[in-house]
Amino acid sequence: MDCLKRLKLVHWVVILLAFAAPLFVKSGYLMHILIDTGFFIILVTGLNIVIGYTGALSLGQQAFLGIGGYTSALLMKNYHLSYLSCLTAAALLAGIAGLLIGAVCLRLRSHYFVIVTLAFALIMELVCINWVDLTGGPMGMPGIPSPTLYIPGLVNFTFQTKTHYYYLVLVMVFIGLYVTYRLIHSRIGRAFIAIRENEELAKSMGVNTFGYSLFAFVISSMYAGVAGSFQAHYLNLVTPDMFGFYSMITMLLMIAIGGKGTISGPILGAIIISMLPEFLRMAEMYRLSIFGFLLVIVTLYIPDGIIYKMMPISNALESWKVRLWRTLSSNS
């Protein structure tokens, strides 16, 4: 119980520090890094639901990111809807796309599933490049209006500064993490884990493996749609690069380094991958080489992710403190 209380205290300290960050970070560039980190936390938290908890390797998450970004941009630019409406539409359309694609590709197994999800992302990229009248083609859609939170008679606020965007993405991050936590620590989450550990055994126990896997895929797609909507309005630009394979590689690295199948792992991975290149900027010529070397080291020696490596250390420290306390109590 004491350990649980301390863990809750740590969580509250982290939340307070996160909300107080703009008071200490005065650099606009560093604030941009924090905003970018929050964006990736939303994105990989959603992807981790599929990869980490159901055990399916999806390479199409960037497609739903692009769908969310273009949906939100088109609705606000052409129909002047409020940002909340655009955000909701982006999440719903990405979820519908995830439902349609998942209903097909989840019937496949192993590498066939991977190939189909990747093919979907490549097809969406080609559609955005060639559908010039709707998407703007290879140049994308610039000049997307800044998001406005509008509630008639109550609120009419436009997000303009980096501090505004930081708090916007921070609220999104905490809502996303809370939803993920409640989802994983429920009957649905237990079904996800059962599918990951042994799908055939889960099916024999009465678990609707296809239904739960499809639900995880749809939720993951909606997370990507929310992240895409935020990025489109933050950058005031959407391009077909959102569908690019580089985005998928970045997400996979974040999950692999942080640790899949945990809530904290993707957060840690997103922070490391987003911030580490900036700390290596002093060695500009060797920055990418150092970054690649560190990735190889982590992959070879910490294949399950950093978060799993930290767990034994945390347990050992807790055990050591308990033994020390018992020794001091017995001596007194």
Mean pLDDT of 1-16: 70
Alpha helices of 106-240 — where are they, by DSSP H? 110-130, 132-135, 162-184, 187-197, 199-204, 209-235
* Cβ–Cβ under 8 Å, residues 33 and 279: no
| 229 and 323 fall within a common domain | no
| 175 and 95 fall within a common domain | yes
Beta-bridge partner residues of 148: 158
* Cβ–Cβ under 8 Å, residues 101 and 117: yes
For tokens 């590689």, what's the residue? 249
In a domain, 65, yes or no: yes
In a domain, 324, yes or no: yes
pLDDT digits (tens, 9 = 90+) for 237-290: 999 988 887 788 888 888 988 888 889 899 999 998 888 766 666 656 666 676
Structure tokens at 55: 């055990």
**What pLDDT, on a 0 to 100 scale, did the predictor assign at position 7?**
61
CA 73 to centroid of chain Cα atoms: 20
Residues 6+ apart with CB under 8 A from 155: 149
| 51 and 152 fall within a common domain | yes
**What CA–CA distance (Å, rounded) separates 242 from 186?**
33
In a domain, 4, yes or no: no
For the ranges 34-43, 101-110, 318-327, which has the lowest average pLDDT? 318-327
**What CA–CA distance (Å, rounded) separates 75 from 84?**
11
pLDDT digits (tens, 9 = 90+) for 186-209: 999 999 999 999 999 999 989 999
| 232 and 331 fall within a common domain | no
* Cβ–Cβ under 8 Å, residues 92 and 99: no
**What CA–CA distance (Å, rounded) separates 44 from 204?**
31
> Which of 228, 250, 274 lies at the terminal end of a domain, its last residue?
274
In a domain, 325, yes or no: yes
> Which of 274, 293, 319 lies at the terminal end of a domain, its last residue?
274
| 43 and 146 fall within a common domain | yes
β pairing state of 148-151 and 155-158: antiparallel
Model pTM score = 0.88
Task: Read off the DSSP letter of residue 151.
Answer: E
| 215 and 322 fall within a common domain | no
Q: Is residue 50 scored above 90 in pLDDT?
A: yes
**What pLDDT, on a 0 to 100 scale, did the predictor assign at position 323?**
46
pLDDT digits (tens, 9 = 90+) for 63-109: 999 999 999 999 999 888 889 999 999 999 999 999 999 999 998 87
| 263 and 316 fall within a common domain | no
**What CA–CA distance (Å, rounded) separates 100 from 123?**
15
Instruction: Please count the other Cβ atoms lying within 10 Å of the Cβ belonging to residue 180.
Output: 20
Beta-bridge partner residues of 237: 142
| 316 and 182 fall within a common domain | no
The parent domain of residue 112 ranges over 29-274
| 186 and 268 fall within a common domain | yes
| 266 and 184 fall within a common domain | yes
Q: Could you give the percent of the chain with pLDDT greater than 90?
A: 51
Burial string for 58-67 (b: 16+ CB within 10 Å, else e) reads: bbbbbbbbbb
In a domain, 300, yes or no: no
| 73 and 129 fall within a common domain | yes
In a domain, 46, yes or no: yes
| 261 and 317 fall within a common domain | no
Question: What DSSP string describes 224-278?
Answer: HHHHHHHHHHHHTEE-GGGG-HHHHHHHHHHHHHH-TTSSHHHHHHHHHHHHHHH
In a domain, 133, yes or no: yes
Q: How many domains does the chain have?
A: 2
**What CA–CA distance (Å, rounded) separates 230 from 234?**
6
